[in-house]
Structure 1
Amino acid sequence: MPDLTLTTGDVDAASAVLIAAATALEARSEPLWPPATLTPERLLKHYPAASWRVAWQGGRAAACMSLQDRDLLFWPEDAPGTALYLHKLAVHPDAQGRGLSGWMLDRAVQEGREHGLAALKLDTATARPKLCALYESYGFQRVAERRVLGFDVTLYTLDLR
């Protein structure tokens, strides 16, 4: 990917990417996240500022994700220090189709390995076959399906060893 840089902690830029992506999905009748839940203030209630990674291309926020060292909601049985947990991966609509999702996943894998973690884990809506296919094509293994807070989710893991 030419001209990409990754920064940490910019929740305002992450929020802008997420809102743009969520709005575009709604316009295609494929809602994922309500845009009102993606403001910086709302995001900070669940995802610390330091967890945010933003990819910049040509001075514009192009993609984002949150990486956390614990996920008690979706992975309560996991011991601390064993995995990195990915949330809210999104690519701005203006930057889609350029492989940014894979680039972001590569960065998450790199970070997990640098910290000596055994796995990268995530959850996604079970009823989102395109998202499931994206993660599976990257190499994630489907390990479980659960109902969490009224939503059916599929849990995925990627071995980092």
Structure 2
Amino acid sequence: MTIEMLRIGADFDRYEELLDVILAAFAFMDGRIDPPSSAHRLTPASLRQKAAQEIAFAAVEKGQLVGCIFLKPEEATLYIGKLAVHPAAQGKGIGRLMLARAEATARELGLACLRLETRVELTENHRMFAAWGFGRAAENRHAGYDRTTSIEMRKPLD
């Protein structure tokens, strides 16, 4: 398997395909999480804007987009958002490759920690991120909810 990690820059023109990857990767959440995933509000135009405001990478295998990761520098952490691997490409280590890219980016920016949020209902994601070195840091609620809806996880970098 040869996976190429491409920085999504101004010349990137595959936002329709990128949206398809995100929606396919997040489809398993439909009917499981409340509120529904914000992925459903994405459009090619909003992804272009997100990529311009954040640091984004696409994972490409044999010319096909198979994954992506969006990174947003914060004061002391690098926030990981929209980490997605197409279901047909899962189990090949692409998620780990993208997290390694996130770690390298955090180090380049002098940030000491990775941060992400995962929905409370997705316990399999909690276990996967824990296996990758993330620990529970907080419980959060979406606006209008009186219960925990997401778990914040952090990974300190050495």
What is the RMSD of the two structures over their aligned residues, measured on CA atoms? Answer: 2.3
1:54-81 superposed Cα distances (whole Å, 9 cap, x missing partner): 11011111111110113xxxxxxxxx2x
| C-alpha distance in 1 between matches for 2:39 and 2:97 | 24
| C-alpha distance in 2 between matches for 1:136 and 1:44 | 31
Aligned to 1:144: 138
Gaps of 5+ in 1: 71-79
State TM-score, norm by structure 1. 0.79
**SS of residue matched to 2:18:** helix
**CA-CA distance at 1:127 after TM superposition:** 1.3
State TM-score, norm by structure 2. 0.80
Aligned to 1:65: 69
| C-alpha distance in 2 between matches for 1:16 and 1:62 | 10
1:14–1:52 Cα contact (<8 Å) kept: no
**CA-CA distance at 1:106 after TM superposition:** 1.3
**SS of residue matched to 1:148:** coil
Gaps of 5+ in 2: none
| C-alpha distance in 2 between matches for 1:122 and 1:34 | 15
Aligned to 2:21: 17
Aligned to 2:150: 153
Query: How many pairs are equivalent?
Result: 147
